[in-house]
Amino acid sequence: MTKTTILAVDDDRAVLASVERDLRQKYGRDYRIVKAESGAAALDVINELKRRSETVALFVVDQRMPQMTGVEFLERANGVFPDARKVLLTAYADTEAAISAINDVDLDYYLMKPWDPPHEHLYPVLDGLLDDWRSNVRLPFEGIRVVGAMWSSASHEIKDFLARSSIPYRWLDVERDEEARRLMAAHAGDTLEVPLLLFPDGEVLVQPTSQEVAEKAGLRTRAENPFYDVIIVGSGPAGLSAAVYASADGLKVLVVEQHAPGGQAGNSPKIENFLGFPSGISGGDLTRRAVTQAKRFGAEVLTAQSVEGLRVEGNTKIVTLGDGSEVSAKMVLISTGAWFRLLELSGIEKWNGAGVYYGAAHTEAANYKDTDVVVVGAANSAAQGMLFLSKYARKVTVLIRGSEPTWSKYLDVAIRANEKIDLVFNTELLEISGDQQIEAVSVKNKQSGESTVLPAKAAFVFIGQKPQSDFLGDLVMRTASGHILTGLDLVTSGERPPGWELDRDPLLLETSVPGVFAGGDVRNGTKHGVAAATGDGNAAVSNFWQYLSTI
Ligand SMILES: Cc1cc2nc3c(=O)[nH]c(=O)nc-3n(C[C@H](O)[C@H](O)[C@H](O)COP(=O)(O)OP(=O)(O)OC[C@H]3O[C@@H](n4cnc5c(N)ncnc54)[C@H](O)[C@@H]3O)c2cc1C
């Protein structure tokens, strides 16, 4: 099989030789290392590779080259191999150019010369980038085929589950694709039972649940043991962070996730405000890294398995899972986050997951190429969603209830510069209409009362977040909105919560039940966001140790 290429470009022969040597030493077995002494020579190389239908995984390019700078080369290379990861080699004086290249050419990293020793400064960066590339690139397809339809919310759910679990799949739409119709006829007869999943070993699943798909794909859905030190419910940033720190500390950890890992963050096309990632990181990549890290330290991660109930017997916490089984632990962390409420419009059920999507819905964006779509919402999540959708859609109309958006400045700058995005203020969504698929939405201006009909093929909704805590019933104290109270929120006028028998106040993240903790967006009073959630995950682990020292 032809090896994928890593291309090094530098006009300084000595530097180029040393880049080549370092690359060959670590990556020579799996990749073909190619070098070029100028931007022009490098363009010849990539055009030839393209002609031969080969792929480039990574460009390592010097910024200071006489005829064509590194950034200029990367700009042109982007048109040929847009998925390749891009590293710019810079001198201290080129830092400004490198930082602006993050936006201009989607630069992944800039590396200050010299980078010795490579195992400290070069390889960790390149390992991460090659890992990301491998997970996102579309290589010749050997994986699962999903035959489905745009009007089927079950198809959307399965695609979302596969994508979020980093399982490659190929989407075949029965309404657009001849091969899809042929496969349907062969495996499902005249029925329109979609989705149909065809696995490389020949097995076909018709309308499977996420759990069936997870099991077939080799993901863990059942706990190995009956008893753990801590069970973490939910694997967004809060749960995964707690899993990493707790298992690194030697605790026996079980993470239970109802869907695929990542939570809301897993829906983010690009998280740009998380410390240490100046070029941003996609929620998918962040999740994959965190899950790998947690597993490496020994945490068990179940997917497609929900927690349906929690009860306490003495010091033991017993968790009931969606398949009816039970698992116990000394402690439980609730990190179930929040999700968007379904729109309350007449006839909306027909469209949920089949034209109306909640969250960024990466998997669907490409299906709306060159069409008009609407986005509902004005917070950071909506901002990221519209920027992502604008890569595909012809026009993105954004319905904003108030007169100002609440998204961050860095997103505002990108949105205002984007010609495809149209912001409509003081407006609410009234109705969604269409026959087999959405054709239009009716909106109303709240100030003038005037209604308008806008053409739209899909609506992406980012409003009405609700904490996911209903499965707890009355076990722990919650606010009217469903956020879980912890720590000193539970102590009013020196009074500890009803039923609290310990001779101490609840710990920072402890709920009204000793040994049951809450962190991240589901907890009352947190600042929503990835950093706050991962911070809670870390703080929860120090609370675990404090709690363990008292029982
Ligand atoms: C599209 C989008 C973009 C965003 N972009 C950014 C950004 O750029 N920067 C930033 O700081 N923040 C961003 N946010 C917000 C950020 O993602 C959230 O604040 C963060 O993910 C909260 O983490 P969490 O772990 O508390 O909960 P969540 O991320 O909500 O994760 C909770 C997890 O718990 C699971 N779960 C729920 N109930 C159960 C149950 N009963 N059993 C088992 N599992 C359960 C859910 O399936 C989910 O996976 C974005 C949010 C969205 C939606």
Cβ atoms of 515 and 331 within 8 Å: the answer is: yes
> From CA 145, how far away is CA 158, in angstroms rounded?
11
Residue 35 has which token pair? 């070098």
Phi and psi torsions of 495, nearest 5°: -90, 130
State the pTM of this model: 0.85
Check if 520 has its Cβ closer than 6 Å to any atom of ligand 1. Answer: yes
pLDDT surpassing 80 at residue 137: no
> From CA 534, how far away is CA 274, in angstroms rounded?
10
Span from the CA of 287 to the centroid of ligand 1 (angstroms): 11
Under the banding of pLDDT at 50, 70 and 90, the label for residue 146 is very high
Angle at which helices 237-248 and 530-548 pack, to 10 degrees?
40
Span from the CA of 277 to the centroid of ligand 1 (angstroms): 19
Among candidates 440, 423, 420, which has minimal Cα distance to 432? 440
Q: Which residue has the higher pLDDT, 271 or 166?
A: 271
Residue showing tokens 């120090």: 542
pLDDT, tens digit (0-9, with 9 covering 90-100), for 300-337: 999 999 999 999 999 999 999 999 999 999 999 999 99
Among candidates 467, 428, 466, which has minimal Cα distance to 449? 428
* pLDDT in the model for residue 2: 66
Residue 358 has which token pair? 């909640």
pLDDT surpassing 90 at residue 3: no
Span from the CA of 363 to the centroid of ligand 1 (angstroms): 17
Q: What average pLDDT does the structure give for the chain?
A: 92
pLDDT surpassing 60 at residue 140: no
> From CA 258, how far away is CA 272, in angstroms rounded?
27
| SS3 of residue 376 by DSSP | strand
Span from the CA of 266 to the centroid of ligand 1 (angstroms): 7
Nearest CA to ligand 1 atom 37: 336
Atom of ligand 1 nearest to the CA of 264: 29
Span from the CA of 235 to the centroid of ligand 1 (angstroms): 8
Span from the CA of 13 to the centroid of ligand 1 (angstroms): 48
Helices (H), 347-401: 362-365, 380-389
Ranges 34-48, 96-110, 153-167, 245-259: which has the least confidence? 96-110
- What's the average model confidence in pLDDT over 272-280? 90
> From CA 165, how far away is CA 357, in angstroms rounded?
19
Check if 337 has its Cβ closer than 6 Å to any atom of ligand 1. Answer: yes
Q: Which of 269-283, 362-376, 477-491 has the highest average model confidence (pLDDT)?
A: 477-491
Nearest CA to ligand 1 atom 35: 234
Span from the CA of 54 to the centroid of ligand 1 (angstroms): 37
Nearest CA to ligand 1 atom 30: 337
Single-letter amino acid, residue 249: D
Single-letter amino acid, residue 111: L
Check if 523 has its Cβ closer than 6 Å to any atom of ligand 1. Answer: no
* pLDDT in the model for residue 430: 95
* pLDDT in the model for residue 75: 93
Ranges 141-150, 366-375, 432-441: which has the least confidence? 141-150
Span from the CA of 543 to the centroid of ligand 1 (angstroms): 22
Span from the CA of 259 to the centroid of ligand 1 (angstroms): 12
pLDDT surpassing 70 at residue 139: no
pLDDT surpassing 60 at residue 410: yes
Under the banding of pLDDT at 50, 70 and 90, the label for residue 361 is confident
Check if 513 has its Cβ closer than 6 Å to any atom of ligand 1. Answer: no
Span from the CA of 490 to the centroid of ligand 1 (angstroms): 24
Under the banding of pLDDT at 50, 70 and 90, the label for residue 486 is very high
- What's the average model confidence in pLDDT over 269-285? 89
Q: DSSP labels for 455-506?
A: E-SEEEE---EEES-GGGTTSS-B-TTSPBP-GGGG-BTTBPPTT--SSSPP
- What's the average model confidence in pLDDT over 52-71? 92
* pLDDT in the model for residue 134: 84
pLDDT surpassing 60 at residue 1: no
Atom of ligand 1 nearest to the CA of 259: 47
Check if 534 has its Cβ closer than 6 Å to any atom of ligand 1. Answer: no
> From CA 231, how far away is CA 237, in angstroms rounded?
15
Q: Which of 108-117, 136-145, 268-277, 472-481 has the highest average model confidence (pLDDT)?
A: 472-481
Check if 160 has its Cβ closer than 6 Å to any atom of ligand 1. Answer: no
Q: Which residue has the higher pLDDT, 88 or 112?
A: 88
Among candidates 387, 529, 404, 522, which has minimal Cα distance to 460? 387
Check if 118 has its Cβ closer than 6 Å to any atom of ligand 1. Answer: no
Other Cβ atoms closer than 10 A to 79: 8
Span from the CA of 157 to the centroid of ligand 1 (angstroms): 17
pLDDT, tens digit (0-9, with 9 covering 90-100), for 173-207: 988 888 888 888 888 776 778 899 998 888 899 99
pLDDT surpassing 90 at residue 164: no
Check if 536 has its Cβ closer than 6 Å to any atom of ligand 1. Answer: no
Check if 355 has its Cβ closer than 6 Å to any atom of ligand 1. Answer: no
Q: Which residue has the higher pLDDT, 90 or 523?
A: 523
The residue whose CB lies within 8 Å of the most ligand 1 atoms, and thus the one to mutate among 241, 483, 530, is: 530
pLDDT surpassing 60 at residue 141: no
Residue-wise burial string across 282-297, b where 16 or more C-beta atoms lie within 10 A, e elsewhere: bbbbbbbbbbebbbeb
Nearest CA to ligand 1 atom 13: 529
Residue showing tokens 């059942």: 222
Check if 22 has its Cβ closer than 6 Å to any atom of ligand 1. Answer: no
Residue 118 has which token pair? 């490579």
